[in-house]
Chain A
Amino acid sequence: MAKRKNRRHLLHTLRIVSQLLFLGLFVGLLVATVLGSPLVRHPWVAQLFLITDPLILLGTALAGAFSAALLAALVVLGLSLLFPRAYCGWICPLGTSMDIVDKVLFRAMKRNRAAAPHLRKIKYGLLAAVLVMAVFGLGVFGWVDPICIATRSLAVVAYPIADWAAKTGLVAAEERGVGAAADLYDWASETGLFIRDANFKEGSPGIAYLWLFTFTAVLLGIWLSQAYQKRFWCRNLCPLGAMLGLVGSASPFRPRVSDACIACDACRRGCKMGAFQPAAGGERYRSLVQECILCYACEREFCPVDAIHIGAGSSGPVRPAPGVLPGRRAALTAVAAGAVIAPAMLLDRRTREKQETNPKLRPPGSLRPDTAFLAACVRCGECMRVCPTNALHPSGLENGVAGLWTPTFVFNIGYCEYYCAVSAEDVEAGRLTSTANLCGQVCPTGAIQPLTHPEKIDHKVGTAVFDHTRCLPWARGEECLTCEEQCPLPEKAISHRTEEVANLDWLAMPESKRNRFEDLEAKRAAGTLSDAQREELAAMPPRTRRLARPYVLRDRCIGCGTCENVCPLDGRSGIRVERLQTRTIQ
């Protein structure tokens, strides 16, 4: 690290304060986006970072899934016209987290900040590729958008892990009789700091999401790539950074190198974004406005002759300096890649839909058909965070490659809460016009629409179907009906009928005893049973028994998955929600 010559520039300090404030806001908003919090009634506040993300605005617009809320991103675009990548240096929570990790882990590491300058071109290619794929109706830019990455990382990785660790620690202390630990646990639960313990009714505390491991790896990859180069992601991969840099190309506000420059190369080697470059002619260096994140380190810390000053003045050339953008061939390759991969994904999706037995069950209010959903969903993970029963998880490939990390129901883990966002007052007043689905309330792009309670019932996630090879009354002659008991509909979608079924105890008798049984039965029918024989027959199990067996009333089922969730079988449930059938088979 270059030794700091002078005291830090005031704006450098202010930037750090700004970063911490926005990171705190980001974390705070996500933690507060939960069932029962007043924040969910003001979703624009909860989604603040996502709806002000210009890449999400552009991507969804191109994909044909534009939503008015996203116009808030124009504020950031306006900011970037003047201060191109100030967002990256002052606001972006992913960037802030990187800086923190860098300070903690890699401060003493010697890294060549000027290494591999050609890598920075990748982000422009990536931006082009994902925008082309958006044109094809795929919201896959969400995989690589930094705010989506940050939201997913916090909601699916960091918060559950921190929650589990805190709970485990407090529980261990509580078991040792530390009363304060129990009180602290209760307080954290009541205030909503702890994630609500969803539905498993015993065992170690905490919740988790599918794909947690992969998201952790992605986050760690982004953080630890800084072992090679500070802000590696921002410099070389971030498509939002690329976009903001390009938007601000004509900005009058940029680092300027004065004539005092002695071309000592200190700035190029010192800048963590590699945003300095020797100008043609070799006398003076110039800054790269598309790369600079306005961190204000260069103003005081590198230049031995104080030739660098960040300020307004004449706009530089709009066209990026050589070495910033990929060459024509590389750019065309990126576009072509997007144009080839996108249709491949669409064909893959359609094939999956036909082949896949594991159905794609989307949150209630999801746009239909699924292609419309894929165009709008940016895979941010807000719906997964807010679902009060931990029912929504990132999907894998069962919805096609294009559907990776979009939300899907896992009913073995949670279920779609009947009265989710509906309050008791609403029910009592019979006034069911407020939004009923929390997922639809927090979705920033409207991929999941907010629905009223009657609309949510009408939407139908899927239809429950009994698996007669698993369900206890059907497969094993044992009584149950837990699914019917807990079906939340006022007119239940599961009913039962008491039927005469084979008695397994009778079947368990050896054949000789069964023959004896038949003989005695015949004698009884003929009225020739002796007293001893009557006793013998009474001691034997009956051939059949009466057992209540459940049936699904298809027309009523809304596919909420409560039945599948509460089925007492370990492993696959005896009743499962399957995809809605099209046309006449309901």
Chain B
Amino acid sequence: MIHPLTRRTFLRAAGTTAIGVAGAGALSGCGGGGDEATYAARPHPQAEAWRNRIGLAQGGDDPGRNVEAAITKLCGSDGAKTFVRQGDVVVIKPNIGWAQVPEMGATVDPAVVATVVRLCREAGAAAVKVFDNSVGTDAKCYKFSGIEDAARQAGADVFLCKRHRFRTVAFADPRCKRLKEWPIYEDVLTADVLVNVAVAKTHNLSYVTLCMKNLMGTQGGDRGKMHQEIHQNLADLNVTITPTFNVLDATRVMIEGGPSGGRKDQVVRAGTIVCGTSTTTIDCWAADPAHLPWPKGHHDLKAVEMIARGAEAGLGTADPAEIEVRA
């Protein structure tokens, strides 16, 4: 029996609906990144002193061993303990950007990631997280690269990005010339330590992609918009999101078809690991055609302008002669 519509019934129904809608609106409306977030990871205690210094390990068949060796060469026997304290939450940001198997050299070698995870845990980290905001379909990138399994086995918490966990960060440093703000993934902003693990590849726009460019994996939003004047944009990014420590995986170097790759004959074995506190300095050393097997005539150091911009901002050096190599 349909009840006749009385004034009371109508007001009751209308009132309930209004409260319900307002409640739902309030629940979903407020909150959600209204406050601005800041990057708070600790810089390396020796960042100033080691600004122009890198650790280097080359040769052999064991990328994991080279990682340990490079870190020891730079940091001394304390190794990762120089930048990881007991109880730290460590975020490792490897390049898991592309759905390619490790032989394609498009992503970091899984053994390298596993070793970095292990070293951080041994140094006393309370939690080690591994993630990347992949360029390709992220679930496939994580699987194809082998990093998901290797990092999990080493004891890291591996997760895919969730869309709502990007927070807008103001790029307020006066050294930032182009970028005003950008969404950065939450876990990067709450980390005590950020370890940036990059892979050495050519890039169709920036000639090479090394440590400086790898930080784009912390960004959300429409990253295609980074490509307009990419070199200055990357300098701004590196000024704002300065990793505690950096590792460059040059076990394989992709020398053609970068950064996405896809052919084994585009990859050259170089068996090299570089580490340091400065993305700019590492890139300066690694981009130099004298140091890694880049194709002849592909680029010279000057063409990789991001390095000069980074040096201008005081992040490192753009002069290979200034670099102290601990090998």
B99 near A197: Cβ-Cβ < 8 Å: no
A residues within 8 A CB of B133?
201
In the complex, given contacts A201-B161, A205-B163, what are 19 additional A-B residue pairs having Cβ atoms less than 8 angstroms apart? A172-B32, A196-B139, A200-B163, A201-B220, A201-B222, A202-B163, A203-B163, A204-B163, A204-B164, A417-B140, A424-B101, A479-B205, A481-B204, A485-B259, A486-B135, A488-B262, A490-B266, A491-B262, A568-B227
Closest to B219 in A: A201
Q: For residues 153 through 167 of chain A, which have their beta carbon under 8 Å from a beta carbon of chain B? A: 167
Kindly supply a per-residue 1/0 record for chain B positions 193-214, scoring 1 wherever the CB is within 8 Å of any chain A CB and 0 otherwise. Answer: 0000000000111000000000
User: Cα distance A109–B2 when bound, in Å?
Assistant: 7
B163 near A108: Cβ-Cβ < 8 Å: no
Is B297's beta carbon under 8 Å from chain A?
A: no
On whether A197 and B162 interact (CB within 8 A), knowing A472-B228, A479-B229, A568-B222, the answer reads yes
Show 27 A/B contacts (Cβ-Cβ < 8 Å), sorted by A. Answer: A35-B139, A109-B2, A174-B164, A175-B32, A200-B163, A201-B222, A202-B220, A203-B163, A203-B164, A204-B163, A423-B143, A424-B144, A427-B144, A428-B103, A479-B205, A481-B204, A484-B205, A485-B204, A485-B227, A485-B259, A488-B136, A488-B262, A492-B260, A496-B204, A566-B224, A568-B222, A568-B228
A568 near B99: Cβ-Cβ < 8 Å: no
B139 near A205: Cβ-Cβ < 8 Å: no
Interface core residue of B27, B159, B220 (most chain A CB under 10 Å): B27
B residues within 8 A CB of A428?
101, 103
A residues within 8 A CB of B225?
568
B227 near A479: Cβ-Cβ < 8 Å: yes
Interface core residue of A108, A201, A484, A486 (most chain B CB under 10 Å): A201
B257 near A490: Cβ-Cβ < 8 Å: yes
Closest to A177 in B: B31
For chain A, the count of residues having a C-beta within 8 Å of the partner chain is: 53
Kindly supply a per-residue 1/0 record for chain B positions 101-137, scoring 1 wherever the CB is within 8 Å of any chain A CB and 0 otherwise. Answer: 1010000000000000000000000000000010111
Q: Interface SS of chain B: helix, strand, loop or mixed?
A: loop
Q: For residues 445 through 503 of chain A, which have their beta carbon under 8 Å from a beta carbon of chain B? A: 472, 478-482, 484-492, 496
User: Cα distance A175–B28 when bound, in Å?
Assistant: 10
Is A168's beta carbon under 8 Å from chain B?
A: yes
B residues within 8 A CB of A484?
204-205
Which of B139, B228, B263 sits near A479, CB closer than 8 Å? B228
Which of A171, A419, A427, A567 sits near B224, CB closer than 8 Å? A567
B residues within 8 A CB of A567?
224
B205 near A419: Cβ-Cβ < 8 Å: no
User: Cα distance A490–B260 when bound, in Å?
Assistant: 8
B104 smallest CB distance to A (angstroms): 9
A41 smallest CB distance to B (angstroms): 15
User: Cα distance A185–B161 when bound, in Å?
Assistant: 12
Is A358's beta carbon under 8 Å from chain B?
A: no
Is A176's beta carbon under 8 Å from chain B?
A: yes
B193 smallest CB distance to A (angstroms): 21
A393 smallest CB distance to B (angstroms): 18
Closest to A483 in B: B224
B32 near A197: Cβ-Cβ < 8 Å: no
Is A389's beta carbon under 8 Å from chain B?
A: yes
User: Cα distance A205–B183 when bound, in Å?
Assistant: 15
B residues within 8 A CB of A496?
204
B27 near A202: Cβ-Cβ < 8 Å: no
B-to-A contact residues, CB < 8 Å: 1-2, 27-28, 31-33, 99, 101, 103, 133, 135-137, 139-140, 143-144, 146, 159-164, 166, 183, 203-205, 220-225, 227-230, 257, 259-263, 266
On whether A424 and B221 interact (CB within 8 A), knowing A205-B162, A491-B263, the answer reads no
User: Cα distance A482–B264 when bound, in Å?
Assistant: 23
B205 near A176: Cβ-Cβ < 8 Å: no
B residues within 8 A CB of A168?
28
B residues within 8 A CB of A176?
31
Closest to A490 in B: B262
Q: For residues 322 through 350 of chain A, which have their beta carbon under 8 Å from a beta carbon of chain B? A: none
User: Cα distance A168–B257 when bound, in Å?
Assistant: 40
Give the 6 A-B residue pairs with the shortest CB-CB distance, closest first: A568-B224, A490-B262, A175-B31, A482-B224, A490-B263, A424-B144
B205 near A481: Cβ-Cβ < 8 Å: yes
B residues within 8 A CB of A202?
163, 166, 183, 220-221
Is A186's beta carbon under 8 Å from chain B?
A: yes
Is A78's beta carbon under 8 Å from chain B?
A: no
Is A418's beta carbon under 8 Å from chain B?
A: yes
Q: For residues 387 through 420 of chain A, which have their beta carbon under 8 Å from a beta carbon of chain B? A: 388-389, 417-419
Is A434's beta carbon under 8 Å from chain B?
A: no
A residues within 8 A CB of B135?
486
User: Cα distance A485–B179 when bound, in Å?
Assistant: 21
Closest to B103 in A: A428
Is A580's beta carbon under 8 Å from chain B?
A: no
A residues within 8 A CB of B28?
168, 172
User: Cα distance A174–B223 when bound, in Å?
Assistant: 26
B residues within 8 A CB of A486?
135-136, 260
B221 near A201: Cβ-Cβ < 8 Å: yes
B137 near A417: Cβ-Cβ < 8 Å: yes
Closest to B98 in A: A488
B residues within 8 A CB of A109?
2
User: Cα distance A491–B264 when bound, in Å?
Assistant: 12
Kindly supply a per-residue 1/0 record for chain A positions 210-247, scoring 1 wherever the CB is within 8 Å of any chain B CB and 0 otherwise. Answer: 00000000000000000000000000000000000000
User: Cα distance A204–B137 when bound, in Å?
Assistant: 19
User: Cα distance A109–B225 when bound, in Å?
Assistant: 57
B residues within 8 A CB of A488?
136, 260, 262
B residues within 8 A CB of A492?
204, 257, 260
On whether A197 and B205 interact (CB within 8 A), knowing A110-B1, A479-B229, the answer reads no
Is A189's beta carbon under 8 Å from chain B?
A: yes
A residues within 8 A CB of B230?
479
A174 smallest CB distance to B (angstroms): 8
Is A24's beta carbon under 8 Å from chain B?
A: no
Closest to B33 in A: A175
A188 smallest CB distance to B (angstroms): 11
B221 smallest CB distance to A (angstroms): 5
A residues within 8 A CB of B99?
418-419
Is A20's beta carbon under 8 Å from chain B?
A: no
User: Cα distance A101–B163 when bound, in Å?
Assistant: 34
A residues within 8 A CB of B220?
201-202
B164 near A205: Cβ-Cβ < 8 Å: yes
Is A36's beta carbon under 8 Å from chain B?
A: yes
Which of A108, A200, A417, A480 sits near B228, CB closer than 8 Å? A480
Closest to A562 in B: B136
A419 near B228: Cβ-Cβ < 8 Å: no
Is A135's beta carbon under 8 Å from chain B?
A: no
Interface core residue of A481, A482, A568 (most chain B CB under 10 Å): A482
User: Cα distance A402–B5 when bound, in Å?
Assistant: 45
User: Cα distance A150–B101 when bound, in Å?
Assistant: 39
B199 smallest CB distance to A (angstroms): 15
A residues within 8 A CB of B146?
424
Interface core residue of B1, B136, B163 (most chain A CB under 10 Å): B163
On whether A480 and B224 interact (CB within 8 A), knowing A172-B31, A202-B183, A419-B99, the answer reads yes
B residues within 8 A CB of A490?
257, 261-263, 266
B residues within 8 A CB of A16?
none
